[in-house]
């Protein structure tokens, strides 16, 4: 393993959790005391440099939403999505293609926040209508973007996965290709600001797809996650390599958030990629679940007393003041397609690359951010398990803390795509 260091020292989680008292300290103090909402705001603001959000729109929206007002949170993002989508439609009707494209992209991201916010509501009746509004905005973006787009139908277990390939031009020239893999709850628009457009600008073709448990596969087809992602990524590779302008020698892959598990898992069995990036690295998904569980029921689960575990968890989840915990559990468990506390945990414990990471032969770039609140410490562990992996630290002093360093996407894009260029010998034209 090689490690690329930055000049700034790593900071501890305690330092990252410091709550400031004045407005100029918002980076460390946070936008909300609720970690989930704070992370949403950071993630949206980070999309602004690639047109995925407008900073004023985001800040004006959160200024009107009180903490813990779940209904107001959902309504605010849905309304912002509607307003921005209407702007996009008007621009398109008047022939302002670029304006329409950028507004559709923002609208899709705002709707995506509203989709996830539905988990805090009493019912899911708004889920499909809101997701379909998000998807309509994404389709509007595809229809107006300056980048050439081709839809892909990726064969998968008697059906297909939805996919798209975007190219830097229509020349038909053979070119390097970057396949981008979503995280657990990320919309397809999310990766646009996490390297997709940056790769297009450098001359890469970019492949986007949704796998089982992700977005349309979950919300419209009811197909849940799977731990053995090689069964997903290999059909993607087969489909992409059949395209006439894809160079097999420079096919690469990126995975963000929980795809920091899925991509390494697949790479242990799928060896046709020339290089890979995980943003950040994950060894064992179940740790982020068990680290936050009460000790007594967790010990019962580990003793095999699953019925007792289920009863205790059910009781704890319905104590006064636990709505946020129930909401979080509902949000995290939905993509696994299972009910019952022990059943979910049984499934999540399969998401572990410890025993297969040594089989990876693809050059791997592992991003490790200060204060990763979901998979802290696992990026360095993954890099130590993969022969020759490169570990890249991102620090709070650079503005690059938190999971997937949401407010440092320009820095992330520069470092990871420069590394990718060097791995495959690519030079921008």
DSSP string, 307-361: HHHHHHHHHHHTSTT-HHHHHHHHHHHGGGT--SHHHHHHHHTT-B-TTTGGG--
Question: Looking at residue 323, what is its pLDDT?
Answer: 85
- Cβ atoms < 10 Å from Cβ of 363: 21
Question: Looking at residue 13, what is its pLDDT?
Answer: 40
Q: Is the pLDDT of residue 306 over 90?
A: yes
Domains of the chain in start order, with CATH, are 1-14+148-285+351-429 (3.40.50.1820), 31-146 (1.20.1440.110)
Token pair in block for residue 231: 């069964």
Kindly state the average pLDDT of the residues 130-147.
98
Question: Looking at residue 7, what is its pLDDT?
Answer: 42
Question: Looking at residue 20, what is its pLDDT?
Answer: 45
* Least trusted range by pLDDT, from 10-14, 66-70, 140-144, 420-424: 10-14
**pLDDT band per the 50, 70, 90 thresholds, residue 333:** very high
**C-beta separation of 281 from 366 below 8 A:** yes
Kindly state the average pLDDT of the residues 356-371.
98
Question: Looking at residue 151, what is its pLDDT?
Answer: 98
Q: Is the pLDDT of residue 429 over 80?
A: no
Q: Is the pLDDT of residue 9 over 70?
A: no
Q: Is the pLDDT of residue 170 over 60?
A: yes
Give me the chain's average pLDDT, please. 94
Q: Is the pLDDT of residue 99 over 80?
A: yes
CA neighbours closer than 13 Å in the CB half-sphere of residue 57: 22
DSSP 17-60: T---SSGGGHHHH-S-SSHHHHHHHHHHHHTGGGTS--HHHHHH
Question: Looking at residue 12, what is its pLDDT?
Answer: 41
Pairing state between β 149-156 and 275-279: unpaired
Q: In angstroms, rounded to a whole number, what is the distance separating the alpha carbons of residues 321 and 308?
A: 23
pLDDT digit string, tens, across residues 181-226? 999 999 999 999 999 999 999 999 999 999 999 999 999 999 999 9
Kindly state the average pLDDT of the residues 284-303.
94
Kindly state the average pLDDT of the residues 317-346.
91
Kindly state the average pLDDT of the residues 99-114.
98
Question: Looking at residue 321, what is its pLDDT?
Answer: 85
Q: Which one-letter DSSP state was computed for residue 427?
A: -
Q: Is the pLDDT of residue 302 over 50?
A: yes
What's the pTM value of the predicted model, to 2 decimals?
0.93
- The residue that leads in pLDDT, 309 or 322, is 309
Token pair in block for residue 270: 């799928």
Q: 231: which residues sit within 8 A by CB, 6+ positions away?
A: 157
**Residues 135, 215, 48, 85: what is their CA dihedral angle, to the nearest 10 degrees?**
20
**C-beta separation of 185 from 212 below 8 A:** no
Question: Looking at residue 11, what is its pLDDT?
Answer: 41
Kindly state the average pLDDT of the residues 110-122.
96
Percent of the chain with pLDDT over 90: 90
Question: Looking at residue 2, what is its pLDDT?
Answer: 59
């Amino acid at each position: 393993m090689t490690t690329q260091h930055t000049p700034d020292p790593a900071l501890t989680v305690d330092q990252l959790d410091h709550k400031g008292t004045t407005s100029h300290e918002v980076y460390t103090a946070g936008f909300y005391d609720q970690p989930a909402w704070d992370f949403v705001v950071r993630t949206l603001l980070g999309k602004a440099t690639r047109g995925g959000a407008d900073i004023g729109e985001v800040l004006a929206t959160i200024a009107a939403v009180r903490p813990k007002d779940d209904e107001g949170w959902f309504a605010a993002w849905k309304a912002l999505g509607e307003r921005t989508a209407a702007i996009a439609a008007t621009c398109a009707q008047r022939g302002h293609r670029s304006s329409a494209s950028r507004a559709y992209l923002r609208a899709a991201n705002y709707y995506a926040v509203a989709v996830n916010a539905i988990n805090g509501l009493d019912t899911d009746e708004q889920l499909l209508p809101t997701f379909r509004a998000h998807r309509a905005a994404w389709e509007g973006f595809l229809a107006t973007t300056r980048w050439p787009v081709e839809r892909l139908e990726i064969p998968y277990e008697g059906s297909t996965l939805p996919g798209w390939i975007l190219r830097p031009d229509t020349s038909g020239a053979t070119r390097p290709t970057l396949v981008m893999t979503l995280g657990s709850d990320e919309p397809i628009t999310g990766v646009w600001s996490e390297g997709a457009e940056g790769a297009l600008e450098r001359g890469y073709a970019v492949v986007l797809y949704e796998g089982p448990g992700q977005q349309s596969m979950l919300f419209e087809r009811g197909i849940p996650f799977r731990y053995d992602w090689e069964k997903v990524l290999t059909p993607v590779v087969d489909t992409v390599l059949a395209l006439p302008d894809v160079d097999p020698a420079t096919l690469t892959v990126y995975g963000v958030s929980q795809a920091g598990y899925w991509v390494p898992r697949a790479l242990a069995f799928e060896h046709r990629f020339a290089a890979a990036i995980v943003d950040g690295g994950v060894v064992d998904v179940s740790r982020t679940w068990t680290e936050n569980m009460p000790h007594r029921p967790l010990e019962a689960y580990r003793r095999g007393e699953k019925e007792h575990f289920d009863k205790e968890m059910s009781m704890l989840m319905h104590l006064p003041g636990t709505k946020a915990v129930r909401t979080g559990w509902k949000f995290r468990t939905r993509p696994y397609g299972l009910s019952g506390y022990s059943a979910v945990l049984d499934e999540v414990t399969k998401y572990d690359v410890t025993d297969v990471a040594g089989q990876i032969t693809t050059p791997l770039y592992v991003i490790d951010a200060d204060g990763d609140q979901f998979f802290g410490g696992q990026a360095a562990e993954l890099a130590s398990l993969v022969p020759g992996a490169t570990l890249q630290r991102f620090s709070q002093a650079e503005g690059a803390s938190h999971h997937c360093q949401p407010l440092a996407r320009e820095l992330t894009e520069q470092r990871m795509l420069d590394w990718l260029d060097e791995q495959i010998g690519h030079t921008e034209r």
